[in-house]
Structure 1
Amino acid sequence: MPDFTHGGAAPLVTNSSATAAPHSAAVADACDAHLHIYDARFAAIAPIVADATAEDYRGIQALLGTSRAVVVQPRCYWTDHSCTLDAIQRLGPANTRGIAVVRPDVTDEALHTLHAGGIRGIRFSLYTEAHAVVGFEMVELLANRVAELGWHLQLHWTADQIAAHRGLLSRLGTPLVFDHLARMPLPGGTAHPAFAVVSELLDRGKAWVKLSGAYLDSLAGAARHYADVDPVAKAWVRAAPERLVWGSDWPHPTETGHKPDDALLYDLLAHWAGTREARRRILVDNPALLYGFQAA
């Protein structure tokens, strides 16, 4: 087991319990492919879960040594992308992309405006349907709307939802990105039918998986460095190292108490990837292809 000890007294950055830099070395052009920005300057339809501005996030970039980022639209802003588009500009449009949330009444003009602002996909966060901005019945319609822009669909679904919608996922022509390790439930992990569904899509070149949110399904927790998630993460690395990206999920909006250690989350990737080559692919090459970052 690698050394995951991160000593120190006080957290170094906001919305994180990291007290020291990661053990794993920084990689040039590394991308954090999943983060959220919450900024009180922008009106929200629900309570903002964290004070987490683009300027705050620069602290995470300095801590981890990442320079590219993907800002995912938070639920509290519904379909108003003012905050996300502002964050892309503040973090640097050459190195930052965004994921939007839209509904079927979105106009073509609005989609093109979002594209010009750095948006490269739309998210269906249906893990908790009761609070979802969009629904399953909108997936195929919206997939067809954004296909001409070259966007992908980002899916935060339960493993049960993935398995239940196998037919829908298989026929979609738009690339799919499964959030947070595709939410394989523990302790079963890869034994869940959804693992086979996602694996088939990976084999066909239709899908990607984000190695993020280790804490979301872990039963072991931070004290044991989310060790029970290792078999799932390593299975994705074995299955399709060329179809994976990594994300911090900062500011960890689901974790309303103790915030995760972002240095630990960064080190977990090195543990899962196994080799420097695989780690670089996941941090640099894959997100460059998926999000359209230009070569340095």
Structure 2
Amino acid sequence: MLRHQTPAGATDCHMHIYGPATRYPVAPTNPSPVPFASDLAAYRAVKERLGLGRTVVVQPTAYGLDNACTMDAVAALGLEAARAVVAVTAETPMAELRRLHALGARGARAFMLKGGPVPWEGLPALAAHVAPLGWHVQLQFDGGEMEARAPLIASLPCDVVIDHIGRFHDPVPPSAPPMRALLRLLESGRVWVKASSPYGVSRSGPPDYADVSAIARAIIAAAPGRVVWGSNWPHPNAPEPKPDVEPLLDLLADWAPDDATRRAILADNAARLYDFGV
């Protein structure tokens, strides 16, 4: 059972939906096994268990640039309760971007690890392409590169959402130069961070993921209005047994001890970022 009740409008801002390969073909660029059983029915049970009102479906690397599974999930959940972050490129026709926007897309995923379709040098063109729609670019990369990548990130003509608490593959103390670079980006008012997947890079491990939790607390203390939460369900790259969703949500109480900050992270910030209405 959760330690704290989730507020009205609580939003899972990072999760993935999969479906049968006969309907949603896996891209040849897919880098990892596909959890086909992690479909919409399975996620609805997670959503109910956590008391979540809203969901942001993030396009998984499994499907490359084919956003059909993601957008079908948004349609099934309903626009009042769901949005999408999709995979597109600077060459995606504007008519297609507008179609996706009408169906609930509000961001373009830029996965800068194996399997991602947009390289770093293509990021400015992608950001310029989606900026007129008010979209953000969602970035996932090794946070150890933060100092080197920060000037490019700061120059982009749209908001930027950085995945997974910065995803420092070698977790660093909050005073380390890569963390200072991230905090400076947050000061710009155009960069956000997802409080998600602490297990992905933690060396100290569960239940509290102390090394990554220190990073999360520093980010939330510095910019509580620029942080959103995500479950990263179904934890596609985590080894078995997969993390349990309830302790992951409970961790937010350790990172943000006061109710007002948790409410902002779970509901208010997400409503602004994903255009749910406040």
Asked if Structure 1 and Structure 2 have the same fold, meaning a TM-score greater than 0.5 normalized by the shorter chain, the answer is yes
Query: Which ranges of structure 1 fall in alignment gaps of 5 or more residues?
Result: 1-20
1:168 partnered with 2:152: yes
1:27 is matched by which residue type in structure 2? P
Give the number of aligned pairs: 272
For residues 1-296 of structure 1, the aligned pairs below 5 Å read 21-40=1-20, 41-45=23-27, 46=30, 47-126=33-112, 128=113, 130-222=114-206, 224-295=207-278
Whole-angstrom CA distance in 1 between matches of 2:36 and 2:243: 14
Whole-angstrom CA distance in 1 between matches of 2:37 and 2:129: 33
Counterpart of 1:177 in 2: which secondary structure? Answer: strand
1:238 is matched by which residue type in structure 2? A
Whole-angstrom CA distance in 2 between matches of 1:175 and 1:148: 12
Decide whether the 8 Å contact of 2:172 with 2:215 is kept in 1.
Answer: no
Counterpart of 1:38 in 2: which secondary structure? Answer: coil
Decide whether the 8 Å contact of 1:71 with 1:97 is kept in 2.
Answer: yes
2:107 is matched by which residue type in structure 1? G
Instruction: After TM superposition, give the deviation of residue 192 of structure 1 in Å.
Output: 3.5
Whole-angstrom CA distance in 2 between matches of 1:70 and 1:286: 13
Decide whether the 8 Å contact of 2:144 with 2:169 is kept in 1.
Answer: no
Whole-angstrom CA distance in 1 between matches of 2:44 and 2:70: 15
Instruction: After TM superposition, give the deviation of residue 26 of structure 1 in Å.
Output: 2.2
Whole-angstrom CA distance in 1 between matches of 2:156 and 2:91: 20
Decide whether the 8 Å contact of 1:73 with 1:101 is kept in 2.
Answer: yes
1:245 is matched by which residue type in structure 2? V
TM-score, normalization by structure 2? 0.93
Instruction: After TM superposition, give the deviation of residue 53 of structure 1 in Å.
Output: 1.1
Instruction: After TM superposition, give the deviation of residue 166 of structure 1 in Å.
Output: 2.1
Instruction: After TM superposition, give the deviation of residue 169 of structure 1 in Å.
Output: 1.2
Instruction: After TM superposition, give the deviation of residue 44 of structure 1 in Å.
Output: 1.6
Q: Aligned Cα RMSD in Å?
A: 1.4
Q: Deviation digits for residues 225-257 of structure 1, max 9, x if unmatched? A: 312222111101110001100000000001142
